């Protein structure tokens, strides 16, 4: 079986949700996890901190390095990557998971929110990638995995939230572009996105339109990420992947255990 044992992953936004799930899945293999996120103290409305996830990683069998990181801060990102490499002796994968969301039409998007989405989603992912690249070159199976959707220019994917869609598509464009740039270095770069809505704190941004019972747990994305990150980097790069398709390719046929409530119909993700 493919494994992430002794591999070092730098995961942004890993204090909760999908980032946390990816960290815990890798930890079960015995991986080294850099938990890079802003939340270092308990938030009144959001679950998890870098320290609580570090404890979970260690309990699951991995090694953890919790680092308070704002992906918008260039100096801090460089410092954190240097800390990670010094602590674990190298770097094998970057997971660009940190993301900001604001699902509103243009007139209802304050420029502060617009700037936040593009600073975190686009600039932050690019900054983390360019900072990690020199270290990834030294790995024998280096990966960059960006959590962003397949690009579809049908206007219906833009009409209700143009700014957010543009920021997420820019992440996917970056993932594809890096794949071409880094081909000769043997560094794989792919995007990954869920087939259905995932049960995370971001559900609150949907204003109650989607019931948690009609979603899947973050573990489906964690298992799909694991399949991507454990595959040879030469096998696939520059792809915009869907969690369910990745897992079907890996031999998974029953997806009921990922559902919050298997008796309820699932809600497709807003980009699919």
Catalytic residue among 114, 164, 169, 258: 164
Return mean pLDDT, the chain.
94
153-176 pLDDT, tens digit per residue, is 888 877 888 999 999 999 999 999
258 as an active site residue: the answer is: no
The whole-number average pLDDT for the span 8-26 is 97
105: number of Cβ within 10 Å: 12
Q: What percent of the chain has pLDDT over 70?
A: 98
172-231 pLDDT, tens digit per residue, is 999 999 999 999 999 999 999 999 999 988 776 666 678 899 999 999 999 999 999 999
The residues spanned by each domain of the chain are 8-258
β-bridge pairing 143-147 and 93-96: parallel
Listed residue (99, 131, 125, 85) closest to 13, CA to CA: 99
Listed residue (31, 125, 35, 147) closest to 83, CA to CA: 35
The whole-number average pLDDT for the span 34-41 is 94
The pLDDT assigned to 112 comes to: 97
54-63 pLDDT, tens digit per residue, is 999 999 999 9
The pLDDT assigned to 44 comes to: 76
Question: Residue 41's pLDDT band (boundaries 50, 70, 90)?
Answer: confident
Cα separation, 134 vs 139, in Å, equals 10
C-alpha distances in Å from residue 81, one per residue of 33, 92, 135, 142, 189: 12, 12, 9, 15, 18
122: DSSP letter: I
Which class does domain 8-258 fall in?
alpha beta
The pLDDT assigned to 113 comes to: 97
Q: What percent of the chain has pLDDT over 90?
A: 86
Q: Which helix (H) or strand (E) holds 222?
A: helix 219-230
């Amino acid at each position: 079986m493919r494994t992430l044992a002794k591999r070092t992953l730098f995961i942004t936004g890993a204090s909760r949700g999908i980032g946390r799930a990816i960290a815990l899945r890798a930890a079960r293999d015995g991986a080294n996890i850099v938990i890079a996120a802003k939340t270092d103290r308990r938030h009144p409305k959001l679950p998890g901190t870098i320290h609580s996830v570090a404890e979970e990683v260690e309990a699951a069998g991995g090694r953890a390095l919790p680092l308070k990181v704002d992906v918008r801060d260039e100096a801090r990102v460089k410092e954190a990557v240097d800390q990670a490499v010094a602590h674990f002796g190298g770097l094998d994968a970057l997971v660009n998971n940190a993301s900001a969301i604001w699902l509103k039409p243009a007139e209802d998007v304050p420029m502060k929110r617009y700037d936040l989405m593009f600073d975190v989603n686009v600039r932050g992912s690019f900054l983390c990638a360019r900072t990690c690249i020199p270290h990834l070159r030294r790995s024998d199976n280096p990966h960059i995995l960006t959590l962003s959707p397949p690009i579809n220019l049908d206007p219906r994917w833009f009409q209700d939230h143009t700014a957010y869609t543009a920021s997420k598509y820019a992440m996917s464009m970056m993932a594809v572009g890096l794949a071409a740039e880094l081909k000769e270095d043997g560094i794989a770069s792919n995007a990954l996105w869920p087939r259905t809505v995932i049960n995370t704190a971001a559900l609150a941004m949907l204003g109650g339109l989607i019931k948690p019972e009609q979603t899947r747990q973050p573990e489906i994305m964690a298992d799909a990420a694991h399949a991507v990150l454990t595959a040879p980097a030469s096998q696939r790069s520059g792809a915009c992947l869907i969690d369910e398709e990745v897992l079907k390719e890996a031999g998974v046929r029953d997806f009921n255990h990922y559902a919050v409530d298997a008796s309820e119909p699932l809600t497709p993700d807003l980009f699919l």
